[in-house]
Chain A
Amino acid sequence: MTYQTLTTQIDGMASDFLFLDDRDIDIASAGKFLNYLDQIVAEGEKVGAAPILKVSRSLSHILGKWLIDQVKDKEAGFGMIEKGISLMQEVAESYKNTGAYGGDVGPFVADCANLLGEDIPATEVSTEAVSTASDVKTGVPAAEIAAAAPPREAAAPVDQLQDDSLLKDFIVEASEYIDEIEVNILNLEQEPENKDYINAIFRPFHSIKGVASFLNLTIIRDLAHKLENLLDKARNAELDVTPPVIDVVLDGADALKVLVNKLKTDPESSQKIPEGLDLDDLKKRIQMVEEGRVDIPAKKKLGEILVEDGVISQETLKKGLDVAEKKPGTKIGEALISEGDVTPKQVSQALRKQVEQVSDASTIRVDTRKLDDMIDMVGELVITQSMVQQDLNMSLHADRNLMRDIAQLFRITSGLQRASTGLRMIPIKQTFQRMSRLVRDLSKAAAKNVAVEMEGEETEIDRNMVDEIYNPLVHMIRNSVDHGLEVSADRLRAGKPEKGLIRLSAYHRGGNIVIEIADDGRGLNKEKILEKAIKNRVIQSGDGLTDAEIYRLIFLPGLSTAEKVTDISGRGVGMDVVKQAVEKLRGKIEIESKVGEGTTFITRFPLTMAIIDGMIVKVGPERYILPTTAIRQALRPARESYNNVVGKGETINVMGQLMPLVRLYQLFGIEPEHKDPWEAIGVVVEGEDRSKCLLVDKIVGKAEVVIKSLGEGFKNIKGISGGAILGDGQVGLIIDPEGLFDFSEK
């Protein structure tokens, strides 16, 4: 065993220590020493020099306390570190010469603890050193340290911040954060172990606390701090996320919301608790949950319920339990029935009571995964049904009775499909309400007067889609409030009502949900868009562009026309990101705008991500599914419309526009029925920013198909987004236009 490395490390630290100025340890030196000590601990463990470990851990601890200003007597602390270093030198030297150390480092470790005011008997010194190290690792609860820490620096007086808009900003941002908490906590309830969700809830509380402390909002700060501590424990796995924890965090978020809202109407209210809000009770509950004193109400045993209801006596129950025990596999209810103590009806009533304890009778919570599985299975059933139908249509001599029964089966299957898809549907109302709250907050921040109107809130949408569409919608709303609507003075000058209007409407159209966000503001400025697009070299000139085409330019990257970046919209995310987000969900976005009258964003989303509305096309023997949303038109190209320009590739002239021709059979290596475009069918398909004409043999029909993933192995195939089982049981691949275009250009 060589101790060379160890002595070199200790000597290095000693010499650096010697060169410190003014017997003071600055942060850079402390960092250097802490890193030295880490190395020494690692090396000490390697060579098994236990006394070194004890000393170096004590020194690390002193340095840590020094850094957070908890070493009262700096001179003594400095002396202690000095002493520790020479002690380590002595121990290392001894190990180097004899392979052991005869002295005792216990007194030194105890001195260190004394210095820090930590009361540890010398005999337990070694375990203490270890436990300190582990404390440091797991993170001492913030509250404990805070209690020992020097008194907080007084908050910067709000007037020192000289900006009353800060409070407004805080209200808007904090409200948004609280909304975020609500969403994440519902996710957390599904996956209580998920650290990401815990973090996502912890952080907003933490941020709210931080700003509140600057703005002297003591009540908000204290509450956020308590909730943050609770979540910190959950984060460090010191606390299980049980329903009571979730409840208390939700209640806490609600209370914060009330407090923050109160600031809006009454900025002076920051020091008093609004009426009707029992913060003391809430804090008490937080504490109880934190100490793990609230348990999930345990299910009562069947026997207990029977005794409570007076059906049997305590003795009868005991007798029954003995009987049940003798015969393994016998439940207490069965035993009691077989003994003739109770009737089966009494047992079933008690069982029902037992179940009702844990669940509300009229609604039950179901894991969404189970729901998805079921809907998937129903999808399969529908496919099988259409397979049976095809078989039947082919056999001419089918039994009349059989035909009738099967027709009945079909009706039931369709009903089942409708019902099961309906399970996951929820009204868009909740999303709209969140957005109208957002409008309110945003308009306050932008000092604009805005009213919100809602239409079609009852329109239903897949639960899985709700969270997905929220962010793009929020962004469009931000845009409308911030850039679309004018300030009151400008509106009055333009002869409009002072109050701006944002209308949210939703309706179903052709298997899609359409959501419109309309404002009655100034409308899009065509000249400005063109100017910017030309400046950014997106287009050469605006000649020949229709209004709709000009508006569509704002969906290109880097083309926001707002003159100033504001706190609300200026976050580096433009309409291009919105468009991408919408398209990722297989949705579409359009703009309508009139100068002086307003702008409307029209978004269309599929009702569900599980089913796709597609057109089935045939190429040779294979069938493919094209998403209907991507199809612009289908045609049989005329011989004259076909062009082959050297260097530019093949094109088809579709109503005056030259569309690049993509021969599907070439891409997929299939032998087609027709190779000449004028004998085949051309389908004009739109990608993200280009359209092409796909050449297929024929169009088979339209169908709604259940999307199936192709599994891990085929996940990254360009041009194919999934597969589906078609009516005859064969598999058809679903085409992803954008990916296919990329593939065709290679």
Chain B
Amino acid sequence: MDKSIKILIVDDFATMRKVIRNLLKQSGYENIVEAEDGVNALKILKSQKIDFIVSDWNMPNMSGLELLKAVRADEDLKTLPFLMVTAEALQENVVAAVKAGVSNYIVKPFTSETLDEKIKKIMEKM
């Protein structure tokens, strides 16, 4: 699989972004950008070509779900792969995200292998 895809990490906690970045790097993904919340993520999505989003669920200003909805409502970004990171597999949240068109979700904490697997699975369907 193509590991040069450009991945956008969205999380308000800088350490968390670094954790995800490190895990991605271990699986060979090097092309990574970061945003600290949904608002900034949308700015980045408007200005650069992003191939994959890994976004946290719970963030100030604009939550992961709101970001997902905004992405899906945008004609250019409608089909962009979107992996949601959640603290636990809460049925209510997962259902809301799935209805809004999330590509998949992943529960914290996870290993680099699980993350890689999820990404591969999503990208294969593209």
Write out, one digit per residue, whether chain A residues 134-162 have a CB within 8 A of any chain B CB (1) or not (0): 00110110100110010011111000111
Which A residues between 63 and 93 are near B, CB-CB below 8 angstroms?
63-65, 67-70
Residues of B within 8 A of A293 (CB): none
The answer to whether the Cβ of A128 comes within 8 Å of any Cβ in the partner chain is no
> Restricting to B58-117, which residues have a CB under 8 Å from any CB of A?
58-60, 87-92, 94-95, 98-104, 107-112, 114
CB-defined interface of B38-59 with A at 8 Å, one 1/0 digit per residue?
0010000000000000001011
If the complex has contacts A31-B99, A156-B112, A571-B36, are A149 and B26 also in contact, measured as CB distance less than 8 A?
no
CB proximity of B8 to chain A, nearest CB, Å: 15
Residue of A nearest to B106 (CB): A153
Determine which of B13, B18, B107 lies in contact with A207 in the assembled complex, contact meaning CB atoms within 8 Å: B13
Q: Which residues from chain A contact B88 at a C-beta distance below 8 Å?
A: 142, 145-146, 149
Contact count band on A: 35 or more
Residues in B whose Cβ lies below 8 Å from that of A166: 15, 18-19, 22
Q: With A153-B107, A155-B109, A210-B87 in contact, is A34–B15 under 8 Å at CB?
A: no
A27: chain B residues at CB < 8 Å are 98, 102-104
A153–B111 touching, CB < 8 Å? yes
User: How many Å lie between the Cα of A600 and that of B92 in the bound state?
Assistant: 52
B-side contacts of A567, CB under 8 Å: 14, 18
* Given A163-B22, A203-B60: A34 in contact with B99 (beta carbons within 8 A): yes
B101: chain A residues within 8 A (beta carbon)? 28, 31
Q: Is B23 at the interface (CB under 8 A from chain A)?
A: yes
Q: How many whole Å from A135's CB to the nearest CB in chain B?
A: 8
Question: Which A residues are CB-close (under 8 A) to B12?
Answer: 203, 207
Known: A156-B112, A161-B22, A163-B22. A145 touches B89 (CB 8 A): yes
Q: How far is the CA of A161 from the CA of B104 in the complex (A)?
A: 23
Q: Which residues of B contact A210 (CB under 8 A)?
A: 13, 16, 56, 87, 108-109
Total of A-B residue pairs, C-beta within 8 Å: 127
B14 proximity list for chain A (CB < 8 A) = 169, 173, 567
On chain B, the residues within 8 Å of A70 by CB distance are 91
Q: How extensive is the interface on chain B, given as a class?
A: 35 or more
B91 near A211 with CB under 8 A, answer: no
CB pair A136 B91 closer than 8 Å: yes
Give every chain A residue within 8 A of B100 (Cβ-Cβ). 31
- Counting CB contacts under 8 A, is A709 at the interface? no
- Given A34-B99, A67-B98: A169 touches B18 (CB 8 Å cut-off): yes
Indicate whether A35 reaches chain B with its CB closer than 8 angstroms: yes
Closest CB in chain B relative to A578 CB, distance in Å = 18
Across-interface contacts of A137 in B (CB, < 8 A): 92
Give the distance in Å from the alpha carbon of A743 to the alpha carbon of B91 in the complex: 55
Q: Would B102 and A68 count as touching, CB distance under 8 A?
A: no
A145 touches B91 (CB 8 A): yes
Min CB–CB distance B114 → chain A (angstroms): 7
A-B pairs with lowest CB-CB distance, top 9: A68-B89, A207-B13, A213-B109, A31-B98, A155-B109, A169-B15, A214-B109, A64-B91, A170-B15
Which residues on A are within 8 Å of B, measured CB to CB? 26-28, 30-31, 34-35, 38, 60, 63-65, 67-70, 136-137, 139-140, 142, 145-146, 149, 152-156, 160-163, 166, 169-170, 173-174, 177, 199-200, 203, 206-207, 209-211, 213-215, 567, 571-572
Can you show 15 pairs from A to B with CB atoms below 8 A apart? A60-B95, A63-B95, A68-B94, A140-B91, A145-B89, A146-B88, A152-B109, A156-B109, A161-B23, A162-B22, A166-B18, A200-B60, A210-B109, A211-B19, A214-B108
